[in-house]
Amino acid sequence: MALFLKAAEFTQLCQQGQIESSSSTGLDRSTLLPRSLGQGTYRQLHLRGGLTIEIREGVLQETLRIEQIHEPEFPLTSKFFLAGSARVETPGIQGIQPDYWERKGFNYLYHLPDLEEIEEWHGGEAIHLVMIYANTDYFHFLQDDQTLPTPLRNIFHGRQAQHRFHQSLGPISPKMEQLLQQVVDCPYTGATQALYVESKALELLTLQLETWKQQYLNVPTLRKDDIERLHQARDLLIQQSDNPPLLIDLAHQVGLNDRKLKQGFRQLFGTTVFGYLQDYRMRQAKQLLADANLSIASVALSVGYRNPEAFSTAFRRKFSVSPKAYQLSVRS
């Protein structure tokens, strides 16, 4: 069973933890994770212009779910997973996957103002990540750069609340890894430390912006009729989720070739055709399991699994709990 905490409760527990170190300038502050939660450190470096670096490292004693309410004024957030992973739930937000994973070896850039999210961190799993928080005003001078992805230009223009995004930027590159190590193992203290880690943080953000820019420039613009066909394909996939068509058959049904379907689906919905189907099936299964009159085998069959064991494996992989355990938890 996971421990559930609101963000304020988690922060309060961390503040009760022993201070491991604090620089003379007050810019660098580390706190030991309370033993009731596990072992590790929670370090923050506060820099100029509202730029903050956060380094988390340790192992939780048990699985922890943290509910966070994001304010309307939310920073551009950069995240680098050096170890561990986290499952994130952002239900009911248009344009954002309701349930996704952030994984070891990958880096992300996101802006998620004015919403509720739940992060789930697994107990017993080593966690090491570096996060950079930057006020969007910091990048005001980039607002007219037409080569940047539209979501970035919008928030740099100050249009924050209407533009949420969560962008996976792929594996952490060797250059990023080198910069991250330099941030973690900064050889300086005081003012020179602040200048040094600020320069590294900006370089990391630069690499992320450039990566996304190249992805953005290389993605062909979808035509209106293509978008309509992709929505039609999505609807057909949902209607036939218990016995889905082959990819090539689905493409023919909506008047696209399979390559256009695969590329366009990922571009429009942020995941593969199979990934979308799997996510839909698991969400349907979760709802069905809440019905006390249905067995695990019946739920599995309802969402297209003839083998209950294969269904249980997929459900556990998705939600980190077995179907039976989930069913018991919602009935109690």
Q: What is the pLDDT of residues 223-274, one digit of tens each?
A: 888 888 998 999 999 999 888 999 999 999 999 999 889 888 877 776 789 8
Q: Are 26 and 36 a contacting pair, CB within 8 Å?
A: no
With a cut of 80, say whether residue 199 has pLDDT above it. yes
- Any long-range contacts for 232-238 (C-beta under 8 Å, 24+ apart)? 233/261, 233/265, 233/273, 234/265, 234/269, 234/276, 237/273, 237/276, 237/277, 237/280, 238/280
Residue 320 pLDDT > 80: no
Give 212's DSSP letter.
H
Q: Is the pLDDT of residue 202 over 90?
A: yes
Q: Residue ranges per domain, the chain?
A: 3-218, 224-331
**Cα distance from N-terminal residue to C-terminal residue, the chain:** 13
Statement: 224-331 belongs to CATH 2.40.30.10: no
Instruction: Tell me the average pLDDT across 290-303.
Output: 86
Average pLDDT for the chain: 87
Q: What is the pLDDT of residues 155-188, one digit of tens each?
A: 888 765 557 889 889 889 989 999 999 999 998 9
Q: Note whether 65 and 4 are within 8 A (CB).
A: yes
8 Å CB contact between 285 and 303: yes
Strands 64-69 and 3-6: parallel
CB 80 within 8 A of CB 177: no
Q: How far apart are CA 90 and CA 111, in angstroms?
A: 13
In the chain, pLDDT over 70 holds for what percent of residues?
A: 92
Look at 331 and 239; give whichever has higher pLDDT: 239
pLDDT at 63: 92
In angstroms, the CA 20 to CA 32 distance is 6
To the nearest 10°, report the CA torsion of 209, 268, 80, 195: 20
Write down the pLDDT at residue 149: 85
What pLDDT is attached to residue 80?
98
CATH of domain 3-218: 2.60.120.10
Counts of helices then strands in the chain (DSSP H, E): 11, 13
State the pLDDT confidence band at 309, using cuts at 50, 70 and 90: very high
Q: Is the pLDDT of residue 52 over 80?
A: yes
> Which pLDDT belongs to residue 219?
62
What is the value of pTM for the model shown? 0.68
Give the pLDDT mean for 195-199.
95
CB atoms inside a 10 Å sphere around CB 323: 24
CA atoms within 13 A on the CB side of 65: 13
Torsion angle of the four alpha carbons 101, 223, 156, 166, in this order, in degrees rounded to the nearest 10: 0
* Domains 3-218 and 224-331 are alike in CATH topology: no
pLDDT tens track for 18-35: 565 555 566 888 888 888
Most confident of 113-122, 220-229, 284-293: 113-122
Q: Are 262 and 273 in contact (CB under 8 A)?
A: yes
Lowest mean per-residue pLDDT among 15-24, 35-44, 297-306, 320-329: 15-24
Query: What's residue 6's pLDDT?
Result: 92
Helix (H, G, I), strand (E, B) or coil at 54: strand
Average pLDDT of the segment spanning 88-95: 80
Quick one: tokens of 142?
């980039």
Q: What is the pLDDT of residue 328?
A: 83
Q: What is the pLDDT of residue 162?
A: 59
- Residue identified by tokens 């036939």 is 240
Sequence length of the chain is: 332
